[in-house]
Amino acid sequence: MPVKGGTRYSSDMTLQETVALASLMTFKLTVGDIPFGGAKGGIRFDPSKYSQAEVERITRKYTMELAKKGFIGPQCDVLGPDMGTNEQIMTWIKDTYQYLYGEDDINADGCATGKLLSQGGIAGRTESTGLGVYFVLKQLMENTDFTKKAKLSKGIAGKKIIIQGFGNVGYHFARSVHKAGGIITGIIEHDASIYSENGFHPDDVKMYMNSQGSCKSYPYADEVNTLDPTQLLEHECDILAPCAVDGAINMNNAPNIKAKVVIEGANGPTTFGGDEIMYDNGVMVVPDMLANVGGVTVSYFEWLKNLDHVSPGRMTKKF
């Protein structure tokens, strides 16, 4: 079986971090019982500072260099989306690989997952990671032993929730917990955090961010912090969901975490030292290798779809 890993575009990437994320991916795939090995890769740059045409050229060059060395392919290393990448970028990767090897490899579409639906993608991949985080939380919040240790009542309804990161993972997680009755009291982004005791409607915040490019001027927030948005991680809440960068909770801020449950939507958002501190303080931490396995699970089904060359359900569909 091939290996499976996310493709990350970030100006903060390091080789050491990439190796660590590849290891985490290996463990995550094992927990999810998915027959892939773990991998991770990417480019050290900030895509937000480049035009779409420039990002496309960078992506295609990156793919060509990997492909020439035999590092990617449907039976070798299947790339997937991660921080800084999206459906369009994964489609460019597939398109470039297909241009190079499509005549000889009938399964070329399977070299990458998370693609546009019209280009071999699969329905539900965009929201799968955040939705998976929600389902894991839902199951745990119905477990008597878990809620007793967390000192919370059963169920998501009425729980105050703070989310770090409002991209695909954080936003779709927020939508699901909001529908279940959870109260989204805080949202943390890279340039600002917003807080409201009465909670936010995730769709309204997302629409505002899409139109304005940031949440720092969101009119319905009781508090806005643009100096150090990560301070909101230490605010009182029932559930804290770090869905952005790795190392967000560490030895510096872990002693001040007041959440009763931390569910890891990002890859490696808690350092080893931070995890030990929260364990000693009685904070229930749901690790990323369980909580965010939903994304790679759907990627696996997209890969199978590409190898089968038949859309799921087509053989049994009645016309």
Share of the chain above pLDDT 90, in %: 81
At CB < 8 A and 24+ separation, what contacts does 278-284 make? Answer: 278/249, 278/254, 281/254, 281/255, 281/257, 282/149, 282/151, 283/257, 283/259, 284/146, 284/149, 284/150, 284/260
Active-site hit among 4, 28, 40, 206 = 40
Spell out the domains of the chain, with CATH numbers in brackets. Answer: 3-121 (3.40.50.10860), 126-293 (3.40.50.720)
For residues 47 and 55, is the Cβ–Cβ distance under 8 A? yes
Q: Give tens-digit pLDDT for 15-48.
A: 988 998 899 899 999 998 999 999 999 999 999 8
Give residue 220's pLDDT.
Answer: 92
The answer to whether residue 40 is catalytic is yes
pTM of the model: 0.88
Q: Give tens-digit pLDDT for 235-282.
A: 999 999 999 988 899 999 999 999 999 999 998 899 999 999 999 999
